[in-house]
């Protein structure tokens, strides 16, 4: 791809992505947040992360029939249950990656 095309895309992408990130942060002095708004903000991880998790598990490598990727589904459920009780990142990673390795390699 030629330089002019590449750098035009990159600079416009940089402006676009940075504007999104800077939006609320940039005007945080002018925005007064009431308690209800803050309460809504506390739901953001619950609203965004599950939407990112499920496609990575159900549609791994484009397998639309999600049962084809059942090893990942099983490993995720197992790790989630352990993580629910332990509340520990390392427990979740070790159990999930370990079980997936076991299911796919053994």
Residues 22-81 that bind other proteins (CB under 8 A): 22-29, 31, 33, 35-36, 38-59, 66, 72, 75-76, 79-80
Is 38 or 67 the residue whose CB approaches other proteins more closely?
38
Q: Does 102 bind other proteins (CB under 8 A)?
A: no
Is 66 or 70 the residue whose CB approaches other proteins more closely?
66
- 22: its two tokens: 């800077």
The single residue listed with the structure tokens 């599950």 is: 50
User: CA-to-CA distance for 49 and 60, rounded, in angstroms?
Assistant: 16
């Amino acid at each position: 791809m030629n330089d002019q095309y590449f750098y035009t895309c990159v600079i416009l992408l940089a402006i676009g992505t940075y504007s999104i990130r800077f939006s609320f942060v940039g005007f945080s002095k002018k925005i007064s947040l009431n308690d209800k708004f803050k309460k809504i903000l506390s739901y953001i991880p619950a609203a965004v992360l599950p939407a990112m998790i499920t496609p990575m598990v159900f549609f791994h490598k484009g397998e639309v029939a999600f049962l084809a990727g059942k090893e990942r589904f099983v490993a995720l459920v197992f790790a989630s249950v352990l993580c629910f009780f332990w509340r520990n990142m390392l427990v979740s990673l070790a159990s999930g990656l370990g079980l997936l390795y076991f299911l796919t390699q053994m």
